Amino acid sequence: MQRRPSVAAREARLPSPGSACLLPRGFPRPPRIGAMRLGPRPAALGLLLLYAAVAGASKAEELHYPQGEHRADYDREALLGVQEDVDEYVKLGHEEQQRRLQSIIKKIDSDSDGFLTESELSQWIQMSFKHYAMQEAKQQFVEYDKNSDGTVTWDEYNIQMYDRVIDFDENTALDDTEEESFRQLHLKDKKRFEKANQDSGPGLILEEFIAFEHPEEVDYMTEFVIQEALEEHDKNGDGFVSLEEFLGDYRRDPTANEDPEWILVEKDRFVNDYDKDNDGRLDPQELLSWVVPNNQGIAQEEALHLIDEMDLNGDKKLSEEEILENQDLFLTSEATDYGRQLHDAYFYHDEL
């Protein structure tokens, strides 16, 4: 598992105007890669990202399980981040690791009963997700604010993302398919930028920039996220997304006996994950659960996994002793952001 990238970070992977992308059309949007949603994106781009994820996963699997043997240190190396973070983790003495870990355990234990429940672990992991997303956005804000005036303008955003200011005509479609996909996405970015700009100033202040980067974290952006998804997928304009619209341009090969595996997976997600009222279509709130990364679900899965692996007496909760007995597992989980929290005073200091 990993935290989702910000909206703008995901879009940094876009092909530049004029680039060729020889990929089949008709890929359903948006696919889920692992547990993370990449958001509604052009069909070819979605497939490009999926191919990259599959190729990367294959290589990562070889490194993670060389000759079938699990490398515990791989989790730290891959998920702590840069090599400096790994080195810092190694330098931290055993006693200091224990002290900081015990401090984190006490913070997770919100009712101070000496045990960590699924709910407490899940809430802590979700808080961790949001904290690091906000920290990342704050760091990006400084990089995007080229003239250091405390705001990020649309031109500064373009320069940071594309090394130049891009300005497309809203009313003029481009002949090249990939260039037109890029134009559509860039215009959507501009609309999101304008929506995030609550005070209509010349640029985004930090809070507005966070809303632009992570609209799913800000209440006033929720309606925009829903409307953007409806514009992308609600082809008949009825305010809902049907299974056919969910699958996009996909049409079964008339010579095939059944749908390909990835279509079966997407259909299963539509029915069992998103269509909560089983009416065969996604209403705006159900649509939101599709297009917004579901950190709650990821956090619950990780909490259940930790309890399943570390609960020695079968009481469905974790004591400090059980955690310390399985310290390596706990430090390579979302509960400590793969050990990163031991190096972030925000988490292990007495006041949070």
Closest CA to 324 of 94, 8, 58: 94
**Residue 242 bridge partners (DSSP):** 281
For residue 88, the model assigns a pLDDT of: 58
**How does pLDDT run across 228-242, given as a tens digit for each residue?**
899 989 999 999 999
pLDDT tens-digit readout, 5-39: 455 444 443 333 333 332 233 333 333 222 333 33
pLDDT under 70 in the chain at which residues? 1-90, 92, 252, 293-294, 334-352
Identify the three-state secondary structure at position 172: coil
**pLDDT of amino acid 297:** 77
Residues 6+ apart with CB under 8 A from 261: none
Which pLDDT belongs to residue 218? 86
- pLDDT digits 0-9 by tens, 209-226: 999 998 888 889 999 989
Distance between CA atoms of 221 and 139, rounded to whole angstroms?
A: 21
pLDDT at 311: 92
Q: Note the pLDDT of residue 117.
A: 95
How distant is the alpha carbon of residue 228 from its chain centre?
18
State the Cα–Cα distance between residues 136 and 97, nearest whole angstrom. Answer: 25
Predicted pLDDT at 30: 35
At 341 the pLDDT is 58
- Nearest by Cα to 27 from 306, 260, 323: 260
Cite the DSSP H helix spans in the chain: 7-11, 43-64, 72-80, 83-91, 94-108, 118-144, 154-162, 177-196, 206-213, 222-233, 243-246, 261-269, 284-291, 295-310, 320-325, 327-330, 345-348
